[in-house]
């Protein structure tokens, strides 16, 4: 089991076997993201991937969950992903779930039939970095996909039987577009009705375009209280969700929340209101935050 460079995975994949099937991100232009700044995208050689699976099958035979890294591994051709999923199924008899990061366009390019075929081979959950439901914010951060494409991608994945975990980013719009960002994100998530919604909080990464914009006064950070208000606004506009599990358990967030939106939205908003009223004593200390 060998890893190259920085390897990230969602918090909910903490207990999964992480398998690198590609390096970097094929988009690699988001203005806030420095994760793969020094790691050009490339598929990992199949021979290496299969060798790692064989080793993991011997060392971790009881593995039930696997996460395929790096940034948007779903961009790999369907036959290659199929071979990888077949090898995982053979190596891990107890395998129940494979997760993967994807961009909206990766999902749309795959099409429903390919997604359904991958689902049959245990690809069970896709993590999609939505960041914002606002077309203007998505354009400013060079996300590489429109909100309309994000919506269609989530709907397509769900029709194929794949669960979707949507990740949005507090603070990414700055104070000027915060309200628009929150309302549009809440509305788009409502239309998506994903199985999971996570919120992360922006942390500026030196070397990124957004860091440069901040240094030159073109982008302003928001206070913790304003970020919590933004979260409140997103929740307020997230309506009609059927079974969406909501989490803010990422280390970048100031207040960790968890619940099912159809049942717990009022409680979550009350908790936020108490945190906003209490002020800094209720927030995760700045030095404890991380990406
Ligand atoms: S798509 Fe994801 S991994 Fe790629 S640059 Fe954007 S935020 Fe980073």
pLDDT of residue 143: 98
Convert the pLDDT of each residue in 118-141 to its tens digit: 999 999 999 999 999 999 999 999
Is 1 domain-assigned? no
Query: Of all atoms in ligand 1, which is nearest to the CA of residue 71?
Result: 3
Distance in Å, CA 119 to ligand 1 centroid: 24
What is the spatial distance between Cα 280 and Cα 254, in angstroms, rounded to a whole number?
9
Atom 5 of ligand 1, nearest CA residue: 28
Is 6 domain-assigned? no
Is 44 domain-assigned? yes
Q: Across residues 140-145, what is the average pLDDT?
A: 98
CA dist list (Å): 16 to 78, 246, 278:
22, 20, 37
Atom 8 of ligand 1, nearest CA residue: 33
Domain encompassing residue 156: 11-280
What is the spatial distance between Cα 94 and Cα 63, in angstroms, rounded to a whole number?
6
pLDDT band at 1 (very low <50, low <70, confident <90, very high): confident
Helix (H) or strand (E) holding 105: helix 104-120
Mutate to test the pocket of ligand 1, among 10, 129, 145, 198 (most ligand atoms within 8 A of CB): 129
Residues with CB under 6 A from ligand 1: 25, 27-30, 33, 35-36, 71-72, 103, 129
Distance in Å, CA 170 to ligand 1 centroid: 16
- Write out the two tokens for 134: 């606002």
199 burial (CB, 10 Å; 0-12 / 13-18 / 19+) is buried
Query: Of all atoms in ligand 1, which is nearest to the CA of residue 129?
Result: 2
The DSSP letter of residue 142 is: T
154 pLDDT above the threshold of 80: yes
Distance in Å, CA 280 to ligand 1 centroid: 31
291 pLDDT above the threshold of 90: no
pLDDT of residue 24: 97
Helix, strand, coil % (nearest 5) of the chain?
A: 45, 15, 40
By the 8 A CB rule, do 46 and 78 touch?
no
Q: Across residues 199-210, what is the average pLDDT?
A: 97
Distance in Å, CA 7 to ligand 1 centroid: 13
Q: Which residue, among 25, 27, 44, has the nearest Cα to 36 in the 3D structure? A: 25
Distance in Å, CA 25 to ligand 1 centroid: 6
Split into its structural domains, the chain has a count of 1
Instruction: Find how far residue 15's CA is from the centre of its chain.
Output: 17
> Which residues pair with residue 144 across a beta bridge?
none
Convert the pLDDT of each residue in 226-260 to its tens digit: 999 999 999 999 999 999 999 998 999 999 999 99
By the 8 A CB rule, do 192 and 154 touch?
yes
Atom 3 of ligand 1, nearest CA residue: 71
Is 242 domain-assigned? yes
pLDDT of residue 6: 87
Query: Of all atoms in ligand 1, which is nearest to the CA of residue 131?
Result: 7
Query: Of all atoms in ligand 1, which is nearest to the CA of residue 29?
Result: 5
By the 8 A CB rule, do 32 and 205 touch?
yes
Is 74 domain-assigned? yes
Convert the pLDDT of each residue in 47-89 to its tens digit: 999 999 999 999 999 999 999 999 999 999 999 999 999 999 9
Is 39 domain-assigned? yes
Is 291 domain-assigned? no
Per-residue burial over 179-189, b if 16 or more Cβ lie within 10 Å, else e, is: ebbbbbbbbbb
- Write out the two tokens for 108: 């749309």
What is the spatial distance between Cα 23 and Cα 15, in angstroms, rounded to a whole number?
21
Distance in Å, CA 282 to ligand 1 centroid: 31
pLDDT band at 94 (very low <50, low <70, confident <90, very high): very high
What is the spatial distance between Cα 72 and Cα 74, in angstroms, rounded to a whole number?
5
58, HSE (Cβ side, Cα atoms, 13 Å):
6
Is 5 domain-assigned? no
**CATH number of residue 244's parent domain:** 3.20.20.70
Q: Across residues 179-191, what is the average pLDDT?
A: 98
């Amino acid at each position: 089991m060998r890893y190259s460079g920085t390897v990230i995975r969602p918090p909910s994949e903490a207990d999964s076997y992480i398998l690198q099937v590609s390096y970097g991100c094929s988009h690699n232009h988001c203005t806030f993201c420095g994760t793969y700044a020094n790691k050009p995208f490339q598929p990992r050689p199949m021979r290496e991937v299969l060798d790692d699976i064989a080793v993991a099958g011997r060392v971790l035979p009881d593995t039930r969950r696997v996460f395929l890294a790096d940034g948007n591994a779903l961009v790999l051709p369907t036959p290659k992903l199929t071979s990888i999923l077949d090898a995982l199924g053979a190596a891990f008899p107890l395998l129940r779930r494979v997760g993967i990061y994807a961009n909206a366009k990766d999902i749309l390019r795959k099409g429903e039939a390919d997604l359904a075929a991958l689902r049959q081979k245990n690809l069970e959950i896709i993590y999609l970095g939505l960041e914002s439901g606002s077309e203007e914010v998505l354009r400013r951060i060079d996300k590489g996909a429109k909100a309309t494409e994000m919506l269609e991608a989530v709907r397509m994945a769900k029709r194929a039987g794949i669960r979707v975990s949507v990740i949005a980013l507090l603070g990414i719009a700055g104070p000027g577009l915060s309200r628009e960002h929150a309302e549009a994100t809440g509305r788009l998530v409502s239309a998506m009705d994903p199985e999971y919604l996570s919120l992360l909080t922006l942390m500026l990464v030196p070397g990124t375009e957004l860091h440069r914009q901040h240094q030159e006064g073109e982008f302003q950070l928001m206070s913790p209280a304003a970020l919590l208000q933004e979260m409140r606004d997103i929740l307020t506009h997230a309506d009609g969700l059927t079974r969406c599990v909501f989490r803010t358990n990422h280390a970048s967030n100031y207040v960790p929340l968890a619940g099912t939106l159809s049942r717990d939205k009022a409680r979550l908003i009350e908790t936020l209101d108490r945190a906003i009223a209490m002020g800094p004593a209720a927030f995760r200390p700045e030095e404890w935050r991380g990406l």
